Amino acid sequence: MRFWAFGREGEVVAELVRDFEREHRGGGGGGVHVRVQQIPWSAAHEKLLTAHVGGALPDLAQMGNTWVPEMVTLDALASLDSLVQISPGMDSAGHFPGIWATNVVDGRLYGIPWYVDTRVLFYRSDI
């Protein structure tokens, strides 16, 4: 399985993948193998678009949820609804509703929130 992870998160994913692979070893030496490719955020969007056009998207990618509608419009993402239905504990109940909704387009789920960051604007009132 090919996994594109962007920015610093790629380092974190590499650690998580080791545990995931250990938990999903198959009998007889099989199991799941995940190859993580770390990509700088500055190149991520263009790389996704280029890979889509070339038919070379990864099996799994971490990406900004602001790109979800664009990628759905391009038919670059698969709906996850059927997979979520058969995955115990994987549903919107365990997630902040607002961030879950950013991964839904036309009533279909295309992403699973991994983490949330909050960007704020502040100003100094003393100047």
**Residue 39 — very low, low, confident or very high, per pLDDT cuts 50/70/90?**
very high
- Give the span between the Cα atoms of 43 and 101, in whole angstroms: 26
Domain locations in the chain as residue ranges: 1-63, 65-115
- Name the H helices within 34-117: 41-53, 68-73, 81-85, 97-101
Q: How much of the chain, in percent, has pLDDT values that exceed 70?
A: 97
pLDDT at 51 over 80: yes
Which range has the worst mean pLDDT, 1-5, 31-35, 80-84?
31-35
Q: Region 26-40: what's the mean pLDDT?
A: 83
71-123 pLDDT, tens per residue?
Answer: 999 999 999 999 999 988 888 888 889 989 999 999 999 999 988 777 788 88
First to last CA, the chain: 53
3 state DSSP class of 86: coil
Output the pLDDT for position 14.
86
Mean pLDDT for 48-68 is: 95
Does the pLDDT value for residue 28 go beyond 70? no
Evaluate if residue 22 carries a pLDDT over 70: yes
